[in-house]
Amino acid sequence: MNGSRPVKATAPQTMSGALCPSPLPAGESVLLGHGSGGKLSAELIHEIFLPTFDNPALALLNDQAMVSVNGIRLAFTTDSFVVKPLFFPGGDIGSLAVHGTVNDLAMGGATPLFLSAAFILEEGLPLDTLRQISASLQEAARACGVAVVTGDTKVVEKGSGDGLFINTSGIGVVHHDLALSAGNARPGDKVLVSGPLGDHGIAILAQREGLALETAIQSDSAPLHNLVAALLATGASFRCFRDPTRGGLASTLNEIAAQSQVGIELQEHRVPVREQVRGACELLGLDPLYVANEGKLVAIVKAEDAETALGALREHPLGREAEIIGTVINGPAGRVTVRTTLGTARMLDMLSGDQLPRIC
């Protein structure tokens, strides 16, 4: 209980300069940006959590841990949900809590099996709200073919929470023998995205701020495990799957580029973004490449398999608008660039600050 820093500070070998900032100064406090999924989140992870919990499964920094029990390969993941508001176009905190955790398992190519659901309730929350959200959570779980097998409920005093927070953790089983990891991208690989970006973040923001957008934008919240299974069934050589949630596509690609020690170059005109989302982003001064998604995946695949992968994505209802958006290059390690239609290039850094707090 003294204030000294943890002593086991061995950083994993896969960390790059871009994701390994100078230590957080002592005396600092938690900022909203520490939950953004961007630079400040990475600082917390690299300065506090990785050195403290130092172990190989965690050090891979994937969306899920791969562990082995008596020879069975399991994926294990956890996510807390603090999204505000609780209900939004296209979903609610209950369905989101299922999709988020199912997708973290799916990004490891795992078949999701079991979920836990733990609720932190604020005194005064209407029980009808809890009923609705529990029913939505269960309906989403049923649709994914997973069972909520264990749970927990805590209550905090009025003013010490915000309605309700949900943690879901999940277990999946891994049948493939690919080594999927954000550290596996190689120069020449292609970058695919399963559909248009930014829907979730803009749907939440529009709801929260009461924006009267011309067309209501729905969250893309959806479970991706069947889409991943379809991709794996092609036999293509995938390097990794990621769902670009908090921090958006830009932060996800920065993580992959840093962990793989490669560059990534995007073709701007290839990156799908709905017109309404682009319009809302212009209105709000946001870049859709930094806005959260909850039903999209990024796949890194060996170049010769890119068209096969694209075909498999487009055959699936959740991948109809998939595109090959870029290439892994032998450029400066950790650098992501966007080549515009005019031929110029701009750097795409990780998200700084707290563009959209409490998006999931």
Tell which positions 97-156 bind a second copy, by CB under 8 A: 113-114, 116-128, 130-132, 134-138, 141, 147-156
27/210 with CB nearer a second copy = 27
Q: Is residue 72 involved in binding a second copy (CB under 8 A)?
A: yes
Q: Is residue 245 involved in binding a second copy (CB under 8 A)?
A: no
103/136 with CB nearer a second copy = 136
Residues in CB range of 256: below 8 A, 6 or more apart: 182, 185, 240, 242, 264, 298, 300
Q: How far is the CB of 264 from a second copy (least distance, A)?
A: 25
Site for a second copy in 177-216 (CB under 8 A): none
CA count, 13 A, side-chain hemisphere, 151: 12
Stretch of 45-53, 193-201, 275-283, 323-331 lying at the interface with a second copy (CB under 8 A): 45-53
What's the alpha-carbon Rg for the chain, to the nearest Å? Answer: 20
Q: In this structure, is the dihedral angle defined by the CA atoms of residues 26, 80, 271 and 198, taken in order, positive or negative?
A: negative
Q: How far is the CB of 218 from a second copy (least distance, A)?
A: 13
Q: Is residue 67 involved in binding a second copy (CB under 8 A)?
A: yes
69/347 with CB nearer a second copy = 69
Residues in CB range of 41: below 8 A, 6 or more apart: 33, 34, 35, 246, 247
37/195 with CB nearer a second copy = 37
Q: How far is the CB of 55 from a second copy (least distance, A)?
A: 5
Q: How far is the CB of 266 from a second copy (least distance, A)?
A: 27
Site for a second copy in 8-37 (CB under 8 A): 8, 24, 26-36
85 upstream amide cis, omega within 30 of 0: yes
Q: In this structure, is the dihedral angle defined by the CA atoms of residues 57, 325, 225 and 110, taken in order, positive or negative?
A: negative
20/45 with CB nearer a second copy = 45
Q: How far is the CB of 61 from a second copy (least distance, A)?
A: 10
Q: Is residue 337 involved in binding a second copy (CB under 8 A)?
A: no
Q: In this structure, is the dihedral angle defined by the CA atoms of residues 101, 102, 108 and 114, taken in order, positive or negative?
A: positive
Query: How many Å separate Cα 4 from the centre of its chain?
Result: 32
Question: Exposed, middle or buried by CB within 10 Å (0-12, 13-18, 19+), for 133?
Answer: buried
Using CB under 8 A, which of 140, 144, 171, 182 touches a second copy? 171
Q: Which residues are paired to 170 by β-bridges?
A: 77, 115
Using CB under 8 A, which of 11, 14, 20, 162 touches a second copy? 162
Question: Exposed, middle or buried by CB within 10 Å (0-12, 13-18, 19+), for 22?
Answer: exposed
Q: The tokens of 33 are what? A: 């940006």
CA distances from 354 to 4, 33, 34, 252, 297 (A): 28, 4, 8, 16, 22
Stretch of 159-167, 185-193, 230-238, 291-299 lying at the interface with a second copy (CB under 8 A): 159-167
162/321 with CB nearer a second copy = 162
Site string for a second copy, 288-327 (x = CB under 8 A): ----------------------------------------
Q: What is the DSSP string of 269-288?
A: GGS---HHHHHHHHHHT--G
Q: Is residue 352 involved in binding a second copy (CB under 8 A)?
A: no
156/233 with CB nearer a second copy = 156
Contact between residue 301 and residue 238 where contact means Cβ atoms under 8 Å apart: yes
